[in-house]
Structure 1
Amino acid sequence: MEQLLHYIWKHRILPLHELRTTDGRAVEIIGPGLHNTHSGPDFFNAKLRIDGTMWVGNVEIHERSADWFMHSHDQDPAYNNVVLHVASVIDADVVTADGSPPPQMELHVPPYIMQNYRRLLAADRYPPCRNTVMQLPRLTVHSWMSALGAERLADMCAAIEQRVRASGGSWEQAFFATIARSFGFGVNSEAFEQWAAQLPFMQVAHHRDDSFQVEALFIGFAGLLDTEAMTDRQRTAATADPYFVRLKSEWEYLAHKFSLTAMPRQTWRFLRLRPQNFPYIRLSQLAQLYCSRHADLSRIVTCASLSDMREVLQAEVSPYWRTHYTFGNESRSNAKHLSASSIDLLIINAVVPMLYAYGRHRKDELLMARANDLLQSLPPEDNTHIRLWQECGITADNAADTQSLIQLHARYCERKDCLRCRFGYWELRSKQ
Structure 2
Amino acid sequence: MSELVDETRTGFERRYSYAPSGIWSAPGRVNLIGEHTDYNEGFVLPFAIDRRTFAALALRDDDIVRVSSAASDDVVEVRLADVTAGASSLAAVPADGRWAGYPLGVAWAFGQLGADLAGLPGFDVHFDSDVPIGAGLSSSAAIEGALAVALNEVWRLGFDGARLVDVCHRAENDFVGAPTGILDQSASLLSQEGAALFLDCRDGSSEPVDLRLEESELAILVIDTKVTHDHASGDYAARRASCEAAARELGVRALRDVTWPQLLEARDRLDGVTYRRARHIVTENQRVLDTVAALRADGPDAIGDLMFASHRSMRDDFEISTPELDLAVEIALNYGAIGARMTGGGFGGSVIALTPVAAITHVQVAIDGAFAEHGYTGPEMFLVWPSQGARRDR
Structure number having the greater strand percentage: 2
Higher relative contact order (CA 8 A, sep 6+): 2
Give the structure-2-normalised TM-score.
Answer: 0.27
Give the structure-1-normalised TM-score.
Answer: 0.25
